[in-house]
Amino acid sequence: MSEHPDEFPRGFLPASDPLPSLPGAVFASWNHAANSLPQWITNGVVRAKIASLPDFPTDALSGQREHEAAMRVLSFLAHAYLLTGDVLPSLPAKLAVPWVAVSELLGTPPVLNYNTFNLTNWTRLDPALPVALGNIAIAQHFLGGQDEQWFQMVHIAIEMVAARAVSVLKPMQAAAASEDGPTVLAHLTTLADTVGEMQRTLERMPEGCDPHIYYHRVRTYMFGWKDNPAFPNGLIYEGVSQTPRFLRGETGAQTATIYAFDGALGIEHGHDAFRAYLIEMRDYMPPAHRTFIAQLESGPDVRGFVGRSGNIQLRDAYNAAVTALQDFRIKHMEYAAMYIAQFAQSDIKNSTAVGTGGTPFMRYLAQHRDATRKHLLA
């Protein structure tokens, strides 16, 4: 297990601010396309405009930040191309070939994911001020507008808040291994306080993102091509393979933060379809995030140490952290009902209320909540 608590200094946000655009004149046409996407979608010309672009110069990319910026541009253009107008069964080679190449370099599938949509898709208004609501803007848009941007910015702000707790997870496990009760207590308190602050940040969502606009406008381009009736045969990436791929869309289940908290607290989920889905979602995370979660899950047993200690103060601190996580999940469920389920019930095209990840999300979120509650120590 790594002994470097600062390996994720800003939680799962990148340690360096994302590039706002692709560098160099060679990417000028692609940057213009990315910036023009809201207008192209609105005017129904996105497919024709993308078809006229020059080949994407993948070989001109260098380093993690440039690859992430390329993934962002290609993901947004590809989803706009596929999901504007009649759904298409294949993606042209002009987009498919570079998208697959860049995704392979990053170790994630060629589909819009949480990392690309949120974690590497922001800039700071004032570089001297923190990453927080009021000082961040979104780099890449589909349609743009306050609701789309606020939805993303709230997620980014939550991830920045979470960084404080992410930094104590491995030290907390190390303290449990050495039976250092006071340090475990301090870190459990930090975790509970941080999750509470994350929930307060989440509760700001309605300030700038209206449920009706989110359902009918924002989430439109976040869907993938697995468990999606619009893509019954998956998606063919032309110029790469004629074998279709089935990939899920962008969803909050692809952030490593909650998985990391579960792993550190010893919260496990039943061996069922929901657990299989959670494991599958890790494939959409950056490899370093997946590794971190696995290290926590195989690390020292904080829950076991607290239970064996007989220390009431430690038990209460552990239960406070679990309860905070449970409350966060309850709030998330409330917003899922407010922003999706209430509209899906009357939406003939989506009467099953399936999320952007292609799952019965309300049932899965309820399972998440219930599994968390079961880990409270008596």
Report the amino acid identity of residue 289.
Answer: H
Average pLDDT over residues 119-142: 98
Whole-number pLDDT of residue 366: 61
Above 50 in pLDDT, residue 352? no
Q: Which band of pLDDT confidence, cut at 50, 70 and 90, is reported for residue 350?
A: very low
List phi, psi (to 5°) of 176: -65, -40
Tens digit of each residue's pLDDT (9 = 90 or more) over 138-161: 999 999 999 999 999 999 999 999
248 or 354, higher pLDDT: 248
Whole-number pLDDT of residue 4: 43
Mean pLDDT of the chain: 91
Whole-number pLDDT of residue 275: 78
Q: Which band of pLDDT confidence, cut at 50, 70 and 90, is reported for residue 360?
A: low
Question: What 3-state DSSP class applies to 237?
Answer: strand
Whole-number pLDDT of residue 375: 75
Burial class of 337 by CB neighbour count within 10 A (0 to 12, 13 to 18, 19+) = middle
Q: Which band of pLDDT confidence, cut at 50, 70 and 90, is reported for residue 182?
A: very high
Residue 5: other Cβ atoms inside 10 A: 15
Above 80 in pLDDT, residue 354? no
Tens digit of each residue's pLDDT (9 = 90 or more) over 18-36: 999 999 999 999 999 999 9
Number of H helices, E strands in the chain: 16, 5
Above 80 in pLDDT, residue 368? no
Above 90 in pLDDT, residue 5? no
Whole-number pLDDT of residue 349: 47
Tens digit of each residue's pLDDT (9 = 90 or more) over 251-290: 999 999 999 999 999 998 766 677 788 899 999 999 999 9
Alpha helices in 178-300 (DSSP H): 181-202, 205-208, 211-213, 256-265, 273-281, 287-297
Above 60 in pLDDT, residue 168? yes
Which of 157, 358, 124 minimizes the C-alpha distance to 257?
A: 157
Which of 181, 178, 169, 171 minimizes the C-alpha distance to 312?
A: 181
Above 50 in pLDDT, residue 348? no
Run of H or E residues at 76:
helix 64-83
Whole-number pLDDT of residue 355: 53
List phi, psi (to 5°) of 77: -65, -40
List phi, psi (to 5°) of 39: -70, -40
Whole-number pLDDT of residue 333: 82
Burial class of 124 by CB neighbour count within 10 A (0 to 12, 13 to 18, 19+) = middle
Average pLDDT over residues 89-111: 98
Token pair 């207590």 is found at 185
Tens digit of each residue's pLDDT (9 = 90 or more) over 301-321: 999 999 999 999 999 999 999
Do 215 and 339 touch, CB atoms closer than 8 A? yes
Whole-number pLDDT of residue 197: 98
Structure tokens at 48: 């024709």
Above 90 in pLDDT, residue 238? yes
Average pLDDT over residues 94-100: 98
Whole-number pLDDT of residue 270: 67
Whole-number pLDDT of residue 346: 56
Tens digit of each residue's pLDDT (9 = 90 or more) over 85-95: 998 999 999 99
The model's pTM is 0.92
Question: What 3-state DSSP class applies to 40?
Answer: helix
Residue 307: other Cβ atoms inside 10 A: 16
Q: Which band of pLDDT confidence, cut at 50, 70 and 90, is reported for residue 105?
A: very high
Structure tokens at 72: 């962002």
